[in-house]
Structure 1
Amino acid sequence: MELKEQIQPHAVLIPVPFQGHINPFTHLAMKLASRGFTITFVNTESTHERIAKAHSHKDDDNPFSHAEESGLDIRYARISDGFPLSFDRRANASQFMIGLTHVFQAHVDDFIENLVLSKPNPPVSCIIADSFHVWGSMIAKKYNLINVSFWTEPATALTVFYNADLLKRNGHFGRHDKYDDTISYIPGIQAIKPEDLPSYCQDADPNDIKYVFKCIEDAQKADIVIGNTVQELESSTISALQEQQPFYAIGPLCPTNFTKKTISTNLLPTTDYTNWLNNRQDGTVLYISFGSLVNLSKQDILEIAQGILISKVSFIWVLRHNILVSGERNILPLGFEEETADRGLVVPWCSQLAVLSHPAVGGFLTHCGWNSILESILCKVPMVCFPVIGDQLTNRKLVVDDWRIGVNLCTRGLIRREVVAENIGKIMNRSDESRKNIDKTKMLLQNALSDEGSSDKNLNQFIQDMKNKILQKN
């Protein structure tokens, strides 16, 4: 047996402490552990407390305890993010992000140092840090570890960031007024409009731009970049990335072992919303959710709600206690819930996968978070797209323009209730083109994950390359 086959890598996984990043990191941990890795998974104390409360866990519970029962070597750790547990991270987002850049880095450094000095068996050999951390390369170099950057968004967004200098030279960086231009000079991207660039390349807050591009600069220093995407979904873009550094598409990193018919009995315990869905005809319910970090204005909520009234569609709407731009709490129009009581359900939280997988659900009104898009594809649910920030704008382009598995909620952020109703109607029409296309897109994802599929091959190649690099360091 070759020496590299005898190596058991020990990887420390550190996601950004937001649920949309933690979810794919969790599935990555399980995948790597099932391939013989030892995993040390690092969560922040505040994230652990929030997840534990949501799942009624005790404070000392290990969310990977079920993995241990399966013989997987996943070790769970919690460290401070530099703020007290009582600190409102959402309401003080800018301060929190600054802390992640500086204070959290020091806590990670201390943790890695103590872990390395403790001489675990097997020894720590690599760090897999979220690409939205700015310190992965520094810590990896300090402790002589393989530096892997995990990109949790589509490869298209990463390619845009990698080519920001091209945007600047051509006058498209930070210019939100050039909507009618077509950008065709980014390697691997045939054509993209300025309005479809990630918001950080448009007119976002300068502090946000500075932080994001520090992250990108650090990702470019990584030994390997892995992405939560599929080769066949973004083939030309991924090929362009691979010319710059090793990049492996190993997605989708989300649950895949379910079907429409097993959800209400096998995946999760019966809940009020699954009971409600069980009493609806197949394909008739619109699921509405804008994620946990998206802020909507009161006017946005009003127009969407009125559009739903006009469409007369059945729906389940997740309305979290989001803070609005105006500082108010999300509120629906007076009488909305009473008027839709026979066909609608408003909930503060639900299991998105449970809802999307339910046979009653026929459409998804979404903010276009990347995890939401992948889950929607796997569940064969076409989308009504309402992106707000970050990569969501680019994700919308992929869904609507490239893959044709969804429609826009509105044009350029201007929400009108009549247009909302019209586009909801397009998706809920079961003969819509997007419904046929999403069947094909799901097959791409399933084939990629199958034995000898592209994601399976890429994961194996990533593991072999990492073992080679570990040998070289030793």
Structure 2
Amino acid sequence: MSNDNDSSKSLTGPHFLFVTYPAQGHINPSLELAKRLAGTFIGARVTFAAPVAAYNRRMLSKENVLQNLTFATYSDGHDDGFRPSTSSDKSRQQSSRQYLSEMRRRGRETLTELIEDNRRQNRPFTCVVYTILLTWVAELAREFQIPSALLWVQPVTVFSIFYHYFNGYADTISEMADNNPSGIIKLPSLPLLRLRDLPSFIVPTNAYAFVLPAFLEQIESLKQEETPKILVNSFQELEQEALTSVLDNFKIVPIGPLITSRTDSETNAEYVEWLDTKSDSSVLYISFGTLAVLSKKQLVELCKALIESRRPFLWVVTDKSYRRSKEDVEEKEEEIISIVVSWCDQFRWTDQMTNAKLLEDCWRTGVRVMEKKDEEEVLVESGEIRRCIEEVMEEKAEEFRRNAARWRDLAAETWALQALGGWENELDYCHELLDADRHYVITRSPSLGGLEAMRESEVSYTVKAILANPGNESSWRYLKALYKDDTESWISDPSVSSVCLKVLSRTDCLHGFALSTLLDLLCDGFRPTNEHRDSVKALANEEPETNLANLVCTILCRVDPIRANYWAWRKSKITVAI
């Protein structure tokens, strides 16, 4: 399909293709990651593909993006927007199943066109990143022999629950739902969970249980990969327990928080001006995401609770509920203290799906409503909603705000490390991916002649990237990957040792990656020249050691303090005098 901001200029770096499901909670984090990759990797090109309807509904902004990030479309079969039936649970299930089926069919067709079109124009995709519910994208990537990774936009705890459900715990959970709804279950590496703590799709009686097979398909699709890769929109401090679990051979890497610190759109919108008239921490924010549809009874209860709370609120509702919700509020409130909008800037209001268990018990930043059965419908009454509003805004307001501020600061610290440097742990996978995708294409494409035939040109490309930005570790890692299982060529190729020397001789850049590469060369048997010795000694504040490898480790302990213990360990393992 279409590819905006098109350029005929072919780039030699990796070409990432992002494919997102048309929901705000998928689009926001995937677009943020796409922007980061576009700004991180030298020579990289990033194409961001979303359904036509997502662009028509203004679900993403194309403002203020780098030139190497372009936008493309694919069809989900509903270019004018999908409107599920709301007449009954059964009709909603049927229309949603039809939508997912049509998205698979039309999505494969139009995304195939996009992949083939980029190949014809000599800019093939070298890696695909896709969001939840798009297993057909992973299938397509395998058919085209393109490495892929799943971007899991929910908490990693949710992924672990789904994984364990489909790997031995389905019967236990179903039995608990039927015979002991208030019981407790212990899943590996997760806190104790009750039935209401589990994703609603898992409970057979839930109206959205029909989506469960899609998540089973997601898990099974990952198992078809040799090394399944999952990027999660979380960070270590937020979900320490879940992130320590090992699930088969899945490689799970936290790369969150995938939120932006700026707003590109709607800065002068009416709701922003209205918010500016309110005091801090006084406005309720209500949103049920892109997909959820409230029943008429539930809308009435919610409107009643909001109005009786006598607090200003901003309510973001979907188009299908917008008119009815706005009318309900305005009918019952002469003095308008609220604003109801069909869309607002989701960069300002984080649209991540969260698990209520984490929110209430682990993060301690909110409360959970208690529902009740009303005839055939599960309902949260207005009195219960008011109770929760008062608890959050009054009784436990100070505690919740203090906890939220702590998580905000941890998230901001993680984001700052990513944006300003020191993102080594979270970017390890992305670095490996950069190494792997070019390596994969070179070694798997017969027309290219294999690694040996392509090594000289790839080394030349990589050396140029290193000299342009010596602080980009991915280029150094890729350089070494070009000599995998060929130590003799690694230590004898002058291109490798000379690029180390060139960087070490410069005064306008950091030297850490050049030093670590030189250390690898020395430990593998490289014989340094006097120029190498002199360039290293020039960087030493310490008394120069006779063993050059030891001296390199000593300098690295100083210039790379985050990994000082690692370099000390490397030094302790050096046994050959160089």
Is 1:438 aligned with 2:404? yes
Measured against aligned partners, the alpha-carbon deviations of 1:51-99 in whole angstroms (never above 9, x if no partner) come to: 2xx79xxxxxxx546324xxx4112222322x25346444443311111
SS in 1 for 2:117: helix
Is 1:16 aligned with 2:16? no
What pairs up with 1:29-428 in 2 under 5 angstroms? 29-36=34-41, 37-51=44-58, 64=62, 66-68=64-66, 72-81=67-76, 83=77, 85-86=79-80, 88-91=82-85, 92-120=95-123, 123-164=124-165, 165-172=167-174, 175=177, 178-184=180-186, 186-203=187-204, 204=206, 207-222=210-225, 223-241=228-246, 244-257=249-262, 268-322=266-320, 329-330=324-325, 333=328, 336-341=331-336, 343-354=337-348, 371-373=350-352, 395-411=355-371, 414-428=379-393
Measured against aligned partners, the alpha-carbon deviations of 1:396-424 in whole angstroms (never above 9, x if no partner) come to: 11111211101123346542222221210
Q: CA 1:336/1:319 → structure 2, altered by over 3 Å: closer, same or farther? A: farther
Cα distance in 1 between the residues matched to 2:422 and 2:386: 38
Measured against aligned partners, the alpha-carbon deviations of 1:348-386 in whole angstroms (never above 9, x if no partner) come to: 3332444x5xxxxxxxxxxxxxx435xxxxxxxxxxxxx
Cα distance in 1 between the residues matched to 2:274 and 2:62: 31
- Partner residue in 2 for 1:364: none
Q: Is the 8 A contact 2:56 2:80 kept in 1?
A: no
What amino acid is aligned across from residue 256 of structure 2 in structure 1?
Answer: G
Q: Is the 8 A contact 1:230 1:455 kept in 2?
A: no
Q: CA 1:179/1:448 → structure 2, altered by over 3 Å: closer, same or farther? A: farther
- Deviation of residue 200 (structure 1)? 1.9
What amino acid is aligned across from residue 157 of structure 1 in structure 2?
Answer: V
Q: Is the 8 A contact 2:307 2:333 kept in 1?
A: no
More deviation, 146-155/303-312: 303-312
What amino acid is aligned across from residue 146 of structure 2 in structure 1?
Answer: L
Q: CA 1:206/1:337 → structure 2, altered by over 3 Å: closer, same or farther? A: closer
What amino acid is aligned across from residue 435 of structure 1 in structure 2?
Answer: R
Q: CA 1:244/1:237 → structure 2, altered by over 3 Å: closer, same or farther? A: farther
Identity of aligned residues (%): 23
Q: CA 1:304/1:171 → structure 2, altered by over 3 Å: closer, same or farther? A: closer
Q: Is the 8 A contact 1:298 1:331 kept in 2?
A: no
SS in 2 for 1:97: helix
Q: CA 1:173/1:80 → structure 2, altered by over 3 Å: closer, same or farther? A: farther
- Partner residue in 1 for 2:536: none
Q: Is the 8 A contact 2:154 2:232 kept in 1?
A: yes
Give the TM-score taking structure 1 as reference length.
0.77
Q: Is the 8 A contact 1:64 1:74 kept in 2?
A: no
Give the CA RMSD over aligned residues. Answer: 3.1
The number of equivalent residue pairs is 408
- Deviation of residue 128 (structure 1)? 1.0
Gaps of 5+ in 2: 1-10, 86-94, 373-377, 443-578
Cα distance in 1 between the residues matched to 2:254 and 2:29: 13
- Deviation of residue 23 (structure 1)? 1.5
Cα distance in 1 between the residues matched to 2:22 and 2:132: 12
Q: Is the 8 A contact 1:251 1:455 kept in 2?
A: no
Cα distance in 2 between the residues matched to 1:329 and 1:268: 24
Cα distance in 1 between the residues matched to 2:105 and 2:317: 33
- Deviation of residue 329 (structure 1)? 4.7
Give the TM-score taking structure 2 as reference length.
0.64
Gaps of 5+ in 1: 1-5, 56-62, 259-265, 357-370, 374-391
What amino acid is aligned across from residue 105 of structure 2 in structure 1?
Answer: H
More deviation, 445-454/273-282: 445-454
- Deviation of residue 35 (structure 1)? 0.8
Higher Cα Rg, which structure: 2
Q: CA 1:114/1:274 → structure 2, altered by over 3 Å: closer, same or farther? A: closer
SS in 2 for 1:404: coil
Cα distance in 1 between the residues matched to 2:96 and 2:110: 19
Which of the numbers 394, 398, 415 marks the counterpart of 1:449?
Answer: 415
Q: CA 1:30/1:242 → structure 2, altered by over 3 Å: closer, same or farther? A: farther
